[in-house]
Amino acid sequence: MTYALDHLTILSRDPEAATNFYGFLLPRIGFAQKKRGIWANGGGLHIQFAKAREGTGEYGRYAPGLNHFGFSAPSAAAVEALAAELEEAGIEARLQHFEPGITALFVPDPDGLRVEISYYPPGVPPVD
């Protein structure tokens, strides 16, 4: 029996900054806003956003907890086009190429949580 990931909940210190960031990024990778703070894609994955509790710790790149979350893109050109859109919008994004033919884009959200959008050629499994 296989269980599918159906949702992620992301807490942010600055909900307005998170709304602006994800409101720009998510429609470009196939998500639609279902209601305030909730987005979904055609595969049934929902992402919910809410405000973090005051006084909680900072996101840590190598701290326990969610390190990053990734999406697969349909082509290297799609990843590169998204990188250009983000750059034009003033959103920090790091485009990288890895062997064998992987094109990856790493985008930190306003709290530092990294979103990855990558193209993997046929037969190449997703890797970190």
Using an 8 Å Cβ cutoff, are 39 and 47 in contact?
A: yes
* Cα 71 from Cα 63, distance rounded (Å): 22
Question: DSSP alpha helices (H): ranges in the chain?
Answer: 15-25, 76-88
Mean pLDDT of all residues in the chain?
Answer: 91
pLDDT at 81 over 60: yes
Domains identified in the chain and CATH numbers: 7-53+68-119 (3.10.180.10)
Provide the total of helices (H) and of strands (E) in the chain, helices listed first: 2, 8
Q: Tens digit of pLDDT for each residue in 5-17? A: 889 999 999 989 9
For residues 111-118, give the mean pLDDT. 94
* Cα 101 from Cα 1, distance rounded (Å): 32
Nearest to 91 by CA among 115, 71, 75: 115
